[in-house]
Amino acid sequence: MWRLNKVRHKAGRHGDSSEQFRSKRREQENALRQARRDRQLVSKRLLLNDDEEHPEVTMETNSAGQDVVSLFLKLQHSGPEKEADLKALSKALRDPSAQLTFIKQGKSMHLLVGLLTGSNAQCRLQAVQCLHELSHSPHATVAPACLPVTPYLLTYLSGQSTRFTELCLYTLGNLCPDSDVVTEKLLAQGIIPALTSCLENQRHNLALVEAVGFTLSQLLQNRDAAEKIIPKSLSFLPSLLLSVLTPDPQFGLAPAIECAWCLHYLTSSAVDGRVLLCHGALLQCSSLLVSIGGVVADGKKEEGMELLICPLLRCVGNLLSSCPVDDLIAQVDDVRLPAALCALLQAYLHTQPALARETAWVLNNLTAHSIEFCSALLTLNLVPGLIQLLPFSQGINTMILRVLANIAHKKKEFCVQLIQLGLLSALCATLKMADPEMVTLSLDVLFMLVTSCPQVTEEFVKQGGLSLIEAIQYNSEGEMRRRAAYLLEHKLLCECESDCWSALR
Amino acid sequence: MLQPELDRLRTEGDVLVRSCGDVCPTSETEQSEVEEGNPFSFSPRLIHLHKDHELFEDGDIQRHMYLQDLYIFAEDDKPSLSVSEFACHISGCTTVFSTLQEYEHHYNSLHRNVCCSCHRSLPTARLLDIHIQEWHDSLFTILAEKQDMYQCLVEGCGQRFRTSKHRKDHLIKIHKYPQDFKFDKIKTDRREKKRQQHKDTDMEVVDDVCVSEGVCEDMCGVLSDQPEQGESMEMHMTDEDTTGMAANIEDPSLAVHGTTSTSTDPLKPRYSYRVPANICFGQASVRGFRGRRGKRK
């Protein structure tokens, strides 16, 4: 079965072919990045049997092909070893070329449908296993061939057998993103209501929750989802997903991961986030982040936690952007959220910089219009930690500086505190950075600081700030030049010109 | 305090900015509080990211690697966090540094004591003063005909000489400077290159900066008519102690007044900087680019 706590072992067992594994990984990663750029990022999942370690194709291609044909013929004649033959067939169908061979046989799908709906339970299970292998095919022609079975799979979602239902779900999940035709058909056949009632009825069966979550995420990720799928789902789906969001300590993170990704697709595609806010999405996601933040701060982060943190952060970030300022405290309700976010930043900075960047983004949205959260960052003494992050690039420092700017923008008193915490010296460094956005933001922050506390000008000059601003006047970016000139003229020089002259002579 | 505004940012190519209507006023009220010509436009803003936004790329890839059973949970041995680089601000100087120290050293060595007229860079403020006097001060030329005007370059010595040759001899004999010490910085003519480079930068701050008692303005006026003289400074990066004329400085960039010739000097600059001819740090300037000072009227 597919379980997060087992995947860890799986990765470890690749042993001496690990270099091969790594290069395959890199290739695949590049392929995925390109697919994302083409807006065609899609993945399939393979549910392994209990006795399997990893999805290896053990048979040679040719013999697999032969096996498939001969097995198919045997099955057509309905012999006494039907179950064994079916099992062998499902194993054979692991091989992609065998998959092609199979669907080219006339009436192959007809056979499977017959077995799927027959009276023999074992045969039904093996038939759906065959279909699952076919759904995982890398060949584009295979999935459409499986279309005739989908109404049956949907019907079986309300059945009772866990393993069987799981296979139905993953098969559907693999099929739906393959083509628009398939997606359309599935929607017409009522996949959304079927998944919803399955989730509702089976919410205590975490294996099925994970499977439903996966299938839903495949649908919601579709590029037309925003028009075709999401509007219909917004009334009932969010609260359902939220109800199964909290991870179970024994079962593991996997079901929560799937549901969180569904919520992310909903929040990032939905035009109006307020519907989701009404369901308490922000409240729940932020509480979950707070508890995860606590765990992480205690040094107990679980493997794979980042897979859950990522979609949660995105939900919170986007929901915050839809939340009216006055409602913010009611919706978030926890002044520990900034602390949790800072803990996540520190914990993942070196290992997952992209996650750190997303965390900084959420902090920006949290502090943009809220005096309370800006104040919390100061009171909880989180600012020094943020200042220490200013050297790091890849978008981290620009976002963090934005957060600090949000704080400075609120009140004069906050500027004073920021200066006491050493922001000025940090700015002397950021003003020299190569990234123009960093420099421009730094100038903006400096302006706010000197406007709020003119006495800080002296300190700034002592730290060599004046020649720095002068140099910026010669930068090729107009935005920077204008700011530097303005600062010199209105804030820096008139304050201390006489002092400076004497210092220089 | 300033009223908040509500923005939304869609996918990268498609920025949608809205005011939030019923809840808070738009940004126009902010602007009215701020004076004219104030270029600072920062205001806190909410950022909404669509699911296809590039900021989400890495996380999406990670998710799909997990779905495809290719995700490695153990920490990768390769560090993927990077640190910001620093870059010299001076337009045309494209040098980049990985530490602040390098940046400081670069700036202090190459951009600090720069002659407004010929753009030569001098190691210290004093040498810059001397250079300006000897090269760009017509009064100096006049006085030098009758008096000893060429100062000894060694700080504290105080002696003056009638010609630069006398000074050079003094430096060699008394202060033990090497014979082949480069006293005479030969002007080379690299107009063409400089011209082209200058076109790239569109400097707007001319008026603000060159506030002087009139002398420097003249200089600036003169400069813009003249073709580029001199050349980019050649400061070889030596190991430290550039305070004063230590012997390890190979090239003080002081030229004998009146020498004009094509360069026989094949020095290759390691760094070059460009400042447009119509920019001059006049009296208002505090450091760096020194032009004529007000005292010379």
CA dist B229 and B194 (Å) reads 10
b/e per residue B204-217 (b: at least 16 CB within 10 A): ebeeebbebeebbb
Helix (H, G, I), strand (E, B) or coil at A284: helix
CA dist A191 and A214 (Å) reads 13
CB of B145 less than 8 A from some CB of A: no
CB of B49 less than 8 A from some CB of A: yes
CB atoms within 10 A of CB B79: 10
Q: Which of B51, B56, B209 sits opposite A269 (nearest CB)?
A: B51
> Where exactly does CATH 1.25.10.10 map onto chain A?
1-51+60-269, 272-410
Q: Which helix (H) or strand (E) holds B151?
A: strand B150-151
Cβ contacts of B53 within 8 Å, gap of 6 or more: B11, B12
Residue A91's nearest CA partner among A138, A55, A118 is A55
β-partners of residue B122 are B113
The arrangement of secondary structure in A272-410, i.e. its CATH architecture, is Alpha Horseshoe (1.25)
Contacts of B92 in chain A (CB under 8 A): 476
Q: Which of residues 401-430 of A touch B (CB under 8 A)?
A: 402, 405-406, 409-411, 429-430
Token pair in block for residue B26: 């738009």
Q: Which residue of chain A is at minimal alpha-carbon distance from B22?
A: A324
Mean pLDDT for B243-258 is: 37
Residue B160 per-residue DSSP state: E
Give the pairing type, strands B160-161 and B289-290.
unpaired
Residue B142's nearest CA partner among B237, B20, B258 is B258
CB atoms within 10 A of CB B50: 17
- Chunk chain A into consecutive blocks of 10 residues (it has 505) and report each block's average pLDDT, rounded to whole numbers: 40 55 87 91 85 58 68 82 88 90 90 91 93 91 88 91 94 89 90 93 93 95 85 84 89 93 90 79 92 90 90 95 83 86 94 94 95 94 95 93 96 94 94 92 95 91 88 86 90 59 50
CB of A361 less than 8 A from some CB of B: yes
- B122-163 per-position pLDDT tens digit: 777 888 888 888 888 899 989 988 999 999 988 888 899 998
Specify whether the CB–CB gap between A157 and A209 falls below 8 A.
no
Token pair in block for residue A357: 């960047």
CA dist A45 and A132 (Å) reads 9
Phi/psi at A156 (nearest 5 deg)? Answer: -70, -10
Residue A477's nearest CA partner among A446, A451, A426, A440 is A440
**Angle ∠(A159,A162,A167) on CA atoms, nearest 5:** 90
Residues in chain B: 297
Written as one letter, the residue type at A178 is D
Contacts of A409 in chain B (CB under 8 A): 1-2, 42-44
CATH topology of domain A1-51+60-269: Leucine-rich Repeat Variant (1.25.10)
Phi/psi at A437 (nearest 5 deg)? Answer: -65, -40
Give one DSSP letter per residue of B85-122, joined into a string: -EE--STT---EESSHHHHHHHHHHHTSEEETTT--EE
Contact across the interface for A500 and B286, Cβ inside 8 Å: yes
Site of tokens 């009611």? A330
CA dist A212 and A254 (Å) reads 12
CB of A320 less than 8 A from some CB of B: yes
CA dist B232 and B227 (Å) reads 14
Q: What percent of chain B has pLDDT over 70?
A: 47
Site of tokens 């981290």? A396
CB of B8 less than 8 A from some CB of A: yes
Token pair in block for residue A187: 């929607």
Dihedral sign from CA coordinates of B165, B169, B175, B179 = positive
Q: Which residue of chain B is at minimal alpha-carbon distance from A324?
A: B23
Cβ contacts of A365 within 8 Å, gap of 6 or more: A317, A320, A321, B46, B47
Specify whether the CB–CB gap between A355 and A308 falls below 8 A.
no
Q: Which helix (H) or strand (E) holds B289?
A: strand B289-290
Q: Which helix (H) or strand (E) holds A406?
A: helix A396-410
pTM reported for the whole predicted model: 0.75
Mean pLDDT score across all residues of chain B: 61
Residues in chain A: 505
Helix (H, G, I), strand (E, B) or coil at B243: coil
Give the pairing type, strands B289-290 and B121-122.
unpaired
CA dist A265 to A332, A421, B61, B69, Å?
20, 39, 15, 21
Contact across the interface for B204 and A10, Cβ inside 8 Å: no
